[in-house]
Structure formats: C-alpha cells, structure tokens
DNA sequence: TGCCGACAGATTGTCAACAATAGGTTGACC
DNA sequence: GGTCAACCTATTGTTGACAATCTGTCGGCA
C-alpha cells in the first residue's frame, strides 16, 4: 500500500462485484461453482486438484478448501484418496430437490401473504408481466430465477431463502431443461400469476398451496420430459 | 501389502464402526463439531488454527479444511484474516431454525402417513412410550432426538432428513434448554402421540399439521422461557 | 486365454515454512 | 492528560515439498 495507491482507481474492478478483498479460497470456490453451474464441468467430471490449481494460478491449499466447502453444499463429492468429482444427480435426487423447493416456496409464499404491501408486491408483478411477454427461453429462465429470488427476499426469512438457494444450485440442470419447452413456460407463469393473486389477497393458506403446487407442477413437467 | 496378507483376517475391526479410514480432516471436523455441540466450545469462542492443530496433534491444513466445512453448515463463521469463531445465534436465528424444523417435520410426518406400515410404526410408538416414562431430562433429550431421527428415517427422504439434521445441529442449544422444564416435556410428548395417531390413521394432512405444530409449540415454549 | 500378483505413475493427504495482515502497544507530540 | 502514529506481535493466508494411497498396466502362470 505505497506507490500503488492511485492505481486501484485506474484498474476498474469487473464492475459486477464490489472488491471485498476475498481470500483465494473464495475466488476458487466461486470459479468452480460457476463452471459447474454453467456446464463447463459436467456432472461426473474428475476434479484434479493440481490441474485446477495450475489453471487458476494458485496452489493446492485454497483449491482443497474450496472443494471441501462445495462438498458440503452437495455440488461435488469424493472419497478419501480418490479425489472429488462433480456430483451426479440420479432421478430420485432431482425429485427430492423438487420436493424441497416446493416446501420452501410454499412457506415463503404464505409468509409473504401475511406481510405483503403494495410496495413489496409491485416489483413482483413486474416480473410476472415481463415473463408473460418473454419469448426467449434463456431470458425467461433468468427472469424466473430473479422472480423467485425476489419472492424469498420479500418473505424475509434468511434460512429458508438460503435453503432454497442451495436447492436451486443443486437442481439447476433439470429445471433449465424443463423450461426450454414453451408450453411449460406458459403453464409455469400462469401458476405464478395465481400464486401472486393469493399473496395479494393475503390468503396465506392458499398462497402456500399454490406456491407448493407450482414447484410440484415443475416436477411433473420434468418427469414428463424424462419419460418422453 | 506383502507378508501381511493373512493378517487382515486376524485383526478384527473395532466392531463399532466399519474401518472407514478417515482422513484427518474428517477426524478434526467430528471433534470440533462434538466440542461445539456439547458446549466445550461455547458460541463466540475464537478458534485458533494453530492451537487446535496442536491440541489434536495435526497440522493446520486439515484444521482449516474442517473449519471451512463447518462454516458451510453454519456452526462457525469467520472473516478474512480474522479467523473463525463459533457461531452466535441471535434470537431471530433460533426462531428461524424452529420455522425450518417445523416445515421439515411436517413434511416428514405427512410423507410417513402415506407410507406407514405397522412394522414401520411399532418402533416409533416405542419411543413415545419410553419418553412417557422417562423422568430424567438428559435421557428424555436423547430419546427425543432418536425419535425424530426415526421419523425421518421412516419417511425415506434423504434431503429433508439431512436438512432437519442440519437444523438440529444449528439450534441444539435452545431446544435443550427448553426441554429441561418437565412440563414442557409432557406437552411435547403429548404432541408426539397425537402426531403418531394421525400418521397411523394415514391422514397426511393432519399429520403434517400436527408435525409442524409440534415444532412450533417448541418454539413457543422456548419463547416463553426466553421471556420469563 | 483368462486370472492373479507385482510394479509404476499419478494423485491425494499431510506437513512445515514463508508472506501478509489485523490488533494491540508503546512512545512522542500537542 | 489525551490523541495519534509507528512499530511489534500474534494469527491467518499461501505455498512447495514430502509421504501415503490408489489405479492402470505388465508379466507370469494355470
């Protein structure tokens, strides 16, 4: 921190994240998580510590710590002396993740119904309208993610939100594949609208039911895709 | 693996656990988790890597990996260059953990109601009877843990069970303190019996409601304890 | 030809040393 | 006497090297 003081301003940070001097472990963790989630590292891929370390320009220590953290989240798994691999989800696992998300989404919707204000609901309605008009699958996928994230943010329950987030990360693949079908998107958004109506009406029981059913309908759509 | 070929058969495994040649990281993780859960390391305790390593007779590497894993589970938290400390739960955190457990327990009870068989339910009834007769707080606490674990095992949903387990570890302190009061134990076990009845009757909706209410009643008992 | 055991390369597990940073302490200065 | 700054120590972050283990391969043998 001497002659380089001013230099920090000349080197713009990636402008997406604030520059919270993160340790290498977190950098590695984010990088690996991104690669797994975007498909660069498909399920089953062996994760060679030395190769990853070399690729990221760090030593194996931070890589091992990052892998240990990802192991806890369920994104990777491994056995002693056999290394880590990107977790492969069986159909039953995916189904379980759907169940979990349904449970959490129902809870969030019910809670939101009890604390909803016009100011809270307005942006949520905006998402539904935007999804209604969206024809691009990729854009819809992103909007859908943001919509659900907004629901949980508005519901104001950190643990349930965190658990939903974890479930999303674990089951991203099935959900993404499922939303590609345009018919699925229309059905899905109709469910969004119905759930929002219940929330706006302050009907917690109905909001919960619809919030759960929405995710379980997603599960059925995925199962249908799996079958045919 | 040369002259010792036959020796493997002559050396009986410790017969308590299969010999899961665990890496040091897992040993350290288990040890730390046990110390946190039994109160040897109270919330807020600084976790000095070098001291822990020396205490356990290992180097800092495995300790750091174990801490990173525990960080993901919420048992410890830390900031860069400031080390880890045992997580301190605010009242709001404890309340959230209760919400989470209620949700998961309700799900498990409902699911169990749909797949219950006499063979599955018999041992569960045994727990309720045993708790009925138990006067020692510590023994009741253990029985209660085993009972709920048995519920989740019988429900057959790995993710929900794992999430419940994680929630238990996070909120152990409040629950333990709350069950010390003998009146709380009686109320709690009455709820167990009612929930079991609904499960045995195959009434999933009622089982779910009672399963949720049981944990939420625990939350209320804890809140009462907190207030007075 | 098929199977079993030993060898070799690759990979993970562990460790001790080095570098960087946060927090407390001491001393000077106002 | 109080405040501020420079230093110093304790602790964390990171690294490269060493040890232990696994996996694939090669050769021998029935």
Please give the residue that has the higher pLDDT: either A211 or A173: A211
The spacing between the Cα labelled CA in B117 and the C1' in C13, in angstroms, equals 46
Average the pLDDT over B204-222 and give the result: 97
Residue A1 confidence (pLDDT): 33
**Local confidence band at B14 (pLDDT 50, 70, 90 cut-offs):** very low
Identify which of A185, A173, A171, A170 has the alpha carbon closest to the alpha carbon of residue A139.
Answer: A185
Structure tokens at B43: 């919330």
Query: Domain for residue B22, yes or no?
Result: yes
pLDDT tier at A175, thresholds 50, 70, 90: confident
pLDDT digits (tens, 9 = 90+) for B17-40: 344 567 999 999 999 999 999 999
Range of the domain at B34: 7-86
Same domain, B142 and B223: yes
Residues 61-120 of B with CB under 8 A from A: 61, 64-66, 68-69, 71-73, 80-81, 93, 96-97, 99-100, 103-104, 107
Q: Do A70 and A29 touch, CB atoms closer than 8 A? A: yes
Q: For strand C, is any atom closer than 7 Å to the CB of B3? A: no
- Mean pLDDT, chain B, rounded, equals 89
pLDDT exceeds 60 at position B58: yes
**CA–CA min distance B80, chain A (Å):** 6
Q: Which nucleotides of D are covered by protein (CB under 7 A)?
A: 11-17, 20-23
- Contacting residues of A for B167, CB less than 8 Å apart: 159
The CA distance from A174 to A226, in Å, is 9
Residue A149 CA distance to nucleotide D22 C1' (Å) = 43
> Is the pLDDT assigned to residue B179 strictly greater than 70?
yes
Do the chains contact at A68 and B69, CB–CB below 8 Å? yes
pLDDT at A182: 67
Note the pLDDT of residue A208. 98
Q: Does residue A1 fall inside a structural domain?
A: no
Residue A146 predicted with pLDDT over 70: yes
**Dihedral sign (CA B111, B113, B115, B119):** positive
State the pLDDT at residue B216: 97
| Residue B4's pLDDT band (cuts 50, 70, 90) | very low
Which residues pair with residue A77 across a beta bridge?
A85
Query: Same domain, yes or no, for B124 and B144?
Result: yes
The verdict on B80 and B27 lying in the same domain is yes
Assess if residue B1 is contained within a domain: no
Q: Does some domain include residue B2? A: no
Comparing CB atoms, the residue among B68, B97, B157 nearest residue A25 is B68
Task: Kindly state whether residues B100 and B63 are assigned to the same domain.
Answer: no
Contact B159 A96 (CB under 8 A): yes
CB-based contact B160:B152 (threshold 8 Å): yes
- The alpha-carbon gap from A19 to the nearest alpha carbon of chain B, in Å, equals 13
* Number of alpha carbons in the 13 Å side-chain half-sphere of residue A147: 24
Single out the residue in B86, B116, B131 at which a domain terminates: B86
CATH number of A218's domain = 1.20.120.530
Q: What is the mean pLDDT of residues A104-123?
A: 97
Place of tokens 């002259």: B3
Using 50, 70 and 90 to split pLDDT, how confident is the model at A21? low
Query: What average pLDDT does range A21-29 have in this prediction?
Result: 89
Q: Averaged over B164-180, what is the pLDDT? A: 87
Q: Look at chain A and report how many structural domains it folds into.
A: 2
**pLDDT above 50 for B2:** no
Q: How many CB atoms lie within 10 A of CB A71?
A: 18
Under the banding of pLDDT at 50, 70 and 90, the label for residue B11 is very low
Q: Which chain A positions have a beta carbon within 8 Å of B66's beta carbon?
A: 68
Reported as a single tens digit per residue, the pLDDT across A57-77 is 999 999 999 999 999 999 999
Q: Is the pLDDT of residue A20 over 70?
A: no
In this predicted structure, what is the pLDDT of residue B21? Answer: 60
Distance from CA of B99 to the nearest CA of A (A): 9
- Tell which of B35, B60, B86 closes a domain: B86
- B2 strand C contact, CB < 7 Å: yes
Residue B105 falls inside a structural domain = yes
**pLDDT category of residue B59 using cuts at 50, 70 and 90:** very high
One domain, residues B35 and B97: no
DSSP string, B120-170: HHHHHHHHHHHHHH---HHHHHHHHHHHHHHHHHHHT-HHHHHHHHHHHHH
> How buried is residue A152: exposed, middle or buried, by Cβ count under 10 Å (0-12/13-18/19+)?
buried
The predicted model gives A146-153 an average pLDDT of 97
% of residues, chain B, pLDDT over 70: 90
Closest in A61, A64, A160 to B100, CB measured: A160
What pLDDT does A5 receive?
Answer: 33
- Asked whether residue B82 falls in the same domain as residue B97, the answer is no
- pLDDT of amino acid A160: 98
**Closest CA-bearing residue to C1' of C16:** B59
Task: Report how far residue B227's alpha carbon sits from residue B221's, in angstroms, rounded to the nearest whole number.
Answer: 10
A41 and A146, same domain (yes or no) = no
The residue of chain A with its CA nearest to that of B81 is: A23
CATH of the domain at A51: 1.10.10.10
Asked whether residue B111 falls in the same domain as residue B55, the answer is no
pLDDT number for residue A159:
97
Q: Is A165 on the interface with B (CB under 8 A)?
A: no
Q: How far is B20 from chain A (nearest CA, A)?
A: 9
Do B97 and B170 lie in one domain? The reply is yes
Among A24, A58, A86, give the residue marking a domain's end. Answer: A86
């Amino acid at each position: 921190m001497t002659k380089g003081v001013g230099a920090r301003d000349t080197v713009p940070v990636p402008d997406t994240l604030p520059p919270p001097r993160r340790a290498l472990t977190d950098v590695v963790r984010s990088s690996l998580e991104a690669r797994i989630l975007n498909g660069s590292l498909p399920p089953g891929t062996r994760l060679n510590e030395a190769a990853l370390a070399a690729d990221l320009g760090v030593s194996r220590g931070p890589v091992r710590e990052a892998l240990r953290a990802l192991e806890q989240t369920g994104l990777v798994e491994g056995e002693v002396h056999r290394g880590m691999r990107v977790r492969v989800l069986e159909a039953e696992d995916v189904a379980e993740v759907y169940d979990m998300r349904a449970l959490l989404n129902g809870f969030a919707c019910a809670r939101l119904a009890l604390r909803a204000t016009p100011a809270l609901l307005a942006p949520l309605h905006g998402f539904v309208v935007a999804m209604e008009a969206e024809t691009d699958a990729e854009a819809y996928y992103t909007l859908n993610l943001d919509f659900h994230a907004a629901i949980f943010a508005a519901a104001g329950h950190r643990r349930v939100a965190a658990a939903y987030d974890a479930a999303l990360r674990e089951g991203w693949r099935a959900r993404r594949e499922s939303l590609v079908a345009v018919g699925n998107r229309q059905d899905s958004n109709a469910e969004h609208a119905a759930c929002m109506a219940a929330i706006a009406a302050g009907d917690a029981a109905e909001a919960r039911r619809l919030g759960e059913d929405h995710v379980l309908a997603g599960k059925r759509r995925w199962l249908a895709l799996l079958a045919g």
